[in-house]
Structure 1
Amino acid sequence: MPELKGVDGLSEPLLRLYSSLAGENPWVEFLTVLRRQLHASFATIILTPPTARTPAIVVTPGVPDFEIGAAVKHFSKDPFVGLPEGRVLTANEFVGREAYRQSCFYQQYVASYGIEDIMGLDLLAKSGFQMRMRICCGAGRSGFTEEDKQWLGYFVPHLRAALDLYERFEIEKGEENIYDTAVEQLSVGSILLDGSGAVIRCNLIARNLLEQRDGIRLVNNRLAFSDTANERSFRDFLRASGPALTSRISFMQAERHSGKPSLGIIARRLTMPPSLKLGFCPAIAVFITDPQQQAGVTGAAVANVLRLTPMEAEIAASLANGLSLLQISEVFGITQNTVRAHLRSVFSKVGVSRQSQLVQRVRTSVSGLIVQMSSGSGAPRRRSRQGAPLLHSAGAGQDRPQVKQTRRLSHVP
């Protein structure tokens, strides 16, 4: 059993658990420490969103990505599932040592890795999000002890809290992806500034406009305007303070010395909790529009906002971009009758009866998302049948936005 005191006991795993959640590789450092302190061969976390039949993410430090196929292939054969929620058990005691070794899962998969026993823990979040932890010991050990199980049990309340935090982080990432998609498909550059006016991040459209240094540019990571009047107006906007200015919006045009049409600039203050006003967080959103860039609606943005199927969303987006039914049928290789059938379904879901109404709804809904996000109210969250937010992650449904993640899929159960 690992020592329970100092950085070699509970302190280091807990530190790694919480510090990794917001990083690029959540869970990895925690599992690495857990494996070392339990003298285990592998330590794995399996995450499954609500209603999903297969795991979305399997994290096993030190396992190459190319072995992902073997892991997924054998998941359905594992008899070591359905553990009492929150209770630490081993495969030898839950399934039975001999019964486990006679199972197809053990004989076709586990035995080849020389695994003697597996210690497991299953947790279920309020939203239905599931976590399975599996720690494997090799043939050099007789199995896990009661002290090992007790030690892992100390982490149960912390893992519950970590699971809740992880789910919230992933939801926020999903909302951020929806926002970015909506802004970019409207050909709008977006820039986030902190309270001092320093740039925190900007999307690709804004980055390209700033690199042109035509009317607006970056100087020491701050926005600078070529026109002195615009520069003065923007500095006054940054210096303004007070609770009454929380929702203040500044409109201006950035004249370009190249002679191209002026850029449209909208700057808006974001609502911040008092505790974060001195920290490194978004305080101002700046949107830039270039009259020479034509905005086009994408199917992905429409699907996210209006909750349509991929094909329905593509048809709705194509109509909003000015295509006729005949052109849509040619683009997607389907008959006009099929296009009309999809369109009737779209009308029913969106609550309109004419194409002109649908086009207006598509454009106002997608552009309205930008205003909603910039005002701090957040993007609409998808919810399960029980009303809990769903994690935006692969494996949780084909129509959910994909989240950029670093995934390691395991070859161990």
Structure 2
Amino acid sequence: MLQGWRWFGPEDPVPLDHVRQAGASGIVTALHHIYDGRTWSMDDIALRKAAIEHAGLTWAVCESIPVHTSIKLRSGPFRAYIDNWKDTLANLGRSGIPVVCYNFMPVLDWTRTDLQFRMPSTGYALRFDIADFVAYDVFVLARRNAEADYPAEEVEAARARLARMSEDDAARLERTIIAGLPGKEDTHDRAGIAARIAAFDGLTEADVRSNLLEFLREIVPVAEDVGVRLALHPDDPPFPLFGLPRVVSTAAAARGLLAAIDSPASGLTLCTGSYGSRPDNDPVAMVREFGPRIHFAHLRNVLRGPGRSFTESDHLGGDVDMVGVVVALVEEERRRRAEGRLDAEIPMRPDHGHLLADDIGKTVFPGYSLIGRLKGLAELRGVMQTAARLLPEG
């Protein structure tokens, strides 16, 4: 697999020289300074690509072109934003960027409730705690009818959790949920997020899925024309938040979307942590089933529970069978080579990492410190090389 590394541009605390030292060769990035729905120009793309190549690396994946809320609602100025998205996609393809990872999550992109959860190792992990999230939604944000969106036991656990929080704890929780994490399209304040949520009132899961399919019907022909492989990222966490429908959370949902838009250009990002946060998803089986349409892989692991909570674990130490996933991906690459596919090598990146050692106390992006990801990439590289050597050909 092509060993990649997410980099947030010149403002990233991890410089490109350190990426090379980690052993990665493919950069996963986007023009994060142009995240308002405007078209990314060929000149702006060329500047970013030149900086990456000057460091001896390649721009392997664009993650991601933001999908404006109006596109997800299919209302207001959505037509202009779709046209801009298509123009950006075309410019990336003409610039030689082969893969674009994107998502269709409403209002919130990837979400956690704790950015420094203390692990037994004394390092710090990202965590999503359902009791904390429900406490915020039902009792702090006080979203209308929010309580009806959760099982009674989750509401009662949330009530007890909030009772133990100080004002500072509650304020920190709010910032963690709504202020924005690396790669997010938007940041919010309390009034702003309430208004964004309200904009989706009345939309069902079927409506959001239909809007996604209409979007795909427009962008996939552009991707085909310029030679880009689209890689749809799953919901993270993979279940509804704030009562908003999420439509890329399960293997069944992925299966339906691939069948509806049956083009090699339209595929998936296999995020083992997102899919693996649900016990009814089997990431190894998903590689076996969807392998030809997996265009990108985020490899991270999670420890599930209690309930719908999860903690991001060591890359080889959680509930996801990471060795099985890597073996299946290596086998898929061999199958592609036998077919003569030009995209036989699947780009991956070690997704997230613990806050460890000298990175503790430094200014880092949550989940994207250097040492934790370096450790994860080293572990995954060892599995990849072992699989490549020991698996029998054919």
> What is the TM-score when the length of structure 2 is the normalising length?
0.24
Q: Relative contact order, CA 8 A, sep 6+: which one is greater?
A: 1
Bigger Rg, which one:
1
> What is the TM-score when the length of structure 1 is the normalising length?
0.23
